[in-house]
């Protein structure tokens, strides 16, 4: 038998002896009729019971682990103590029959509250420190309060007890239907608490210990049955209802704690002596070992003290830790060799991943630069293709300019170069804008025509332009096509036109370019490049019409 078991047996024997002494005092009072002896023995008996319940409550506060279960069991201890004090006041200091009856009614507050608290203790067992009872448990509390209210108001309805009209005392009461209901409710709560605790218990084969707390419960059922039936055995030996109930409740809770159904910290020495996995030691404040696990090694006191400020590394990849506990220190050794190896591996992997990240970052940067260059080349090629004809024309005009000596001719050549340059500039603007967004403002066409007309003025070509658009933004391809059409017509009439009028209309998704000149020129190039264009020749000039269809997105 372990030291803890021996201490538990001693406490149980002492408590049983005290209960036996109290029971003996009760028997002496019943058998002998001596007022002085009766009062003395009754006070001794009362003191024994109250001291027993108070001592148990203090013990529960030191042993039970879960804070809420500990508080609830302390309330149970207070209820049992209050019950016995209430009993003593009822028998020793109250002599009025009505007041005595109400004191007897008050017995049923702890009688019903203690089973309810037992059920709440079962729900709290095994939970964390921040656990709070769920809201649905309020139903059990309300039912219990209703039961107590029925007892306390019995004089108004007599549903729990009924009395003859002559005397209203507990000794001549008759039991009503609700008396059996409240007893059944208490039994239900105790059974529910026991079932919940057994289901939550993680001790191997814990269900075979269920009979230990079940014994006082079964005895209580038998006692309530005999008490209800006014059995002669109960009247002779167990007539003190409060004392018997409190002792049975105490035995029930204590058996639950001893069996592990309610978690306690009363077997630390056995826990430490059986521990082989964790090298733990409990010392006093002077580092004298009080409890020690089997796997714990003896370490110098100075080493233990050094670990108080910070963990101490030992050989073999072990670390010594130290933390305060109530009344001393807890020291233990952890084997972190695997963690150290893992950290070394992780450091190597981290270095490798860092190098890979640097390489990937370099590749991404190079790839980004490559994409930028490709995009620039693409736009350059697009612009080159778009304006290549005009660039070739400028090259030819420059060569012609260098060969020409006539000033007027040179001025005309420069004027043509200016017109072509304006087109190249605006055409590139259209290309870049369309590359960024499929829709561009209609105002870009107006700006392009305005600049081209300024250049045409050097060739003595006059005219005007109007742009009427229903939409603020139009597909860039449509605007570019319209401007290309204008440029091609203008280049075809450089030598013969004196005026050039342009009207651009946007209606029903169609952009129409209407160009009117005062000359008749060869329109074969226009017809070949724009098959859908309409060319109308008249005596005083030529009209060029081009319709471009498209919505607000690229077609």
- Beta-carbon contacts of residue 32 (< 8 Å; ≥ 6 apart): 38
DSSP 457-487: GGGT-B--EEEE-SSSEEEHHHHHHHHHHHH
pLDDT at res. 166: 58
The pLDDT, as a whole number, for residue 113 is: 93
Query: Residue 501 and residue 52: Cα distance in Å, rounded?
Result: 118
> Residue 200 has which token pair?
């939550």
Q: Among all chains, which residue has been given the structure tokens 């023995």?
A: 41
Which residue matches tokens 């003395």?
40
- pTM for the model: 0.53
**What confidence score (pLDDT) does residue 551 get?**
46
pLDDT tens digits, 252-300? 888 888 777 787 776 555 555 555 556 777 888 888 887 777 667 778 8
Q: Are 468 and 509 within 8 A, CB to CB?
A: no
Domains and CATH numbers, the chain: 65-263 (no CATH), 270-335 (3.40.1840), 425-549 (3.30.565.10)
CA 5 to CA 21: how far, in whole Å? 24
By the 10 Å C-beta count (0-12 exposed, 13-18 middle, 19+ buried), 65 is classed as: middle
- Give 40's contacts (C-beta < 8 A, 6+ positions apart): none
Reported as a single tens digit per residue, the pLDDT across 162-180 is 877 656 666 667 788 888 8
Are the CB atoms for 285 and 301 separated by under 8 Å?
A: no
HEC letters along 288-326: CEEEECCCCCCCCHHHHHHCCCCCEEECCCEEEEEEEEC
Question: In 10 A of CB 262, how many CB atoms?
Answer: 30
Tell me which residue of 494, 385, 382 sits closest to 435, measured CA to CA: 382
Q: For the chain, how many helices (H) and strands (E)? A: 18, 14
Torsions phi, psi of 206, nearest 5?
-65, -25
- Judged by DSSP in three states, 555 sits in coil
- Token pair of 406, please? 């006539």
Contacts of 553 (CB under 8 A, 6+ apart): 438, 439, 475
Question: pLDDT, tens digit, for every residue of 21-35?
Answer: 877 777 776 666 666
- Flag residues of the chain having pLDDT under 70: 1-8, 29-38, 165-172, 202-212, 234-237, 266-278, 294-295, 372, 375-384, 386, 550-555
* Per-residue burial over 96-133, b = 16 or more CB atoms within 10 Å of its CB, e = otherwise: eeeebbebbbbbbbbbbbbbbbbbbbbbbbbbeeeeeb
Is residue 486 within 8 A of residue 449, CB to CB? The reply is: yes
pLDDT at 480: 84
């Amino acid at each position: 038998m372990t030291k803890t078991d021996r201490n538990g047996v001693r406490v149980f024997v002492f408590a049983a002896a005290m209960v036996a002494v109290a029971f003996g005092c009760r028997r002496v009072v019943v058998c002998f009729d001596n007022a002085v002896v009766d009062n003395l023995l009754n006070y001794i008996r009362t003191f024994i019971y109250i001291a027993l319940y108070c001592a148990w409550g203090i013990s529960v506060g030191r042993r039970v682990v879960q804070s809420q279960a500990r508080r609830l069991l302390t309330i149970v201890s207070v209820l049992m103590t209050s019950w016995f004090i209430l009993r003593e006041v009822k028998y020793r200091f109250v002599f009025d029959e009505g007041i005595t009856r109400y004191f007897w009614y008050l017995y049923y507050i702890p009688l019903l509250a203690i089973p309810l608290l037992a059920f709440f203790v079962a729900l709290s067992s095994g939970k964390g420190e921040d656990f709070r009872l769920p809201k649905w448990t309020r139903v059990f509390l309300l039912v219990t309060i209703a039961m107590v209210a029925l007892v306390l108001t019995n004089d108004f309805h007599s549903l729990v007890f009924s009395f003859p009209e002559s005397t209203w005392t507990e000794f001549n009461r008759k039991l009503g239907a609700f008396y059996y209901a409240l007893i059944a409710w208490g039994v239900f709560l105790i059974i529910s608490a026991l079932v919940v605790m057994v289901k939550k218990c993680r001790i191997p084969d814990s269900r075979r210990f269920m009979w230990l707390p079940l014994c006082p419960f079964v005895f209580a059922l038998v006692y309530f049955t005999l008490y209800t039936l006014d059995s002669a055995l109960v009247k002779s030996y167990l007539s003190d209802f409060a004392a018997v109930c409190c002792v049975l409740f105490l035995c029930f809770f204590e058996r639950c704690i001893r069996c592990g159904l309610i978690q306690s910290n009363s077997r630390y020495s056995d826990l430490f002596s059986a521990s082989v996995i964790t090298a733990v030691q409990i010392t006093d404040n002077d580092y004298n070992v009080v409890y020690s696990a089997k796997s714990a090694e003896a370490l110098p006191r100075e080493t233990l003290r050094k670990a108080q400020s910070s963990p101490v590394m030992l050989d073999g990849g072990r670390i010594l830790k130290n933390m305060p506990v109530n009344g001393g220190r807890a020291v233990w050794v952890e084997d972190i060799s695997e963690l150290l190896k893992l950290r070394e591996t992780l450091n190597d992997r981290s270095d490798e991943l860092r190098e890979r990240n640097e390489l990937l970052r370099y590749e991404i940067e190079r790839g980004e630069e490559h994409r930028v260059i490709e995009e620039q080349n693409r736009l350059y090629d697009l612009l080159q293709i778009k304006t290549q004809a005009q660039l070739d024309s400028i090259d030819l005009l420059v060569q012609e300019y260098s060969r020409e000596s006539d000033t007027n001719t040179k001025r005309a050549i420069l004027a043509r170069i200016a017109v072509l340059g304006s087109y190249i500039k605006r055409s590139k603007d259209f290309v870049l804008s369309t590359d960024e967004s499929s829709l561009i403002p209609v105002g870009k066409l107006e700006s392009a025509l305005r600049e081209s007309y300024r250049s045409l003025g050097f060739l003595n070509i006059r005219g005007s332009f109007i742009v009427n658009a229903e939409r603020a933004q139009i597909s860039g391809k449509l605007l570019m096509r319209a401007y290309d059409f204008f440029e091609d017509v203008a280049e075809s009439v450089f030598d013969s036109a004196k005026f050039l009028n342009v009207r651009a209309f946007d209606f029903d998704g169609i952009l129409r370019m209407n160009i009117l000149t005062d000359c008749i020129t060869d329109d074969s190039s226009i017809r070949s490049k724009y098959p859908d264009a309409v060319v109308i020749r008249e005596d005083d000039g030529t009209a060029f019409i081009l319709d471009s269809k498209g919505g607000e997105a690229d077609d």
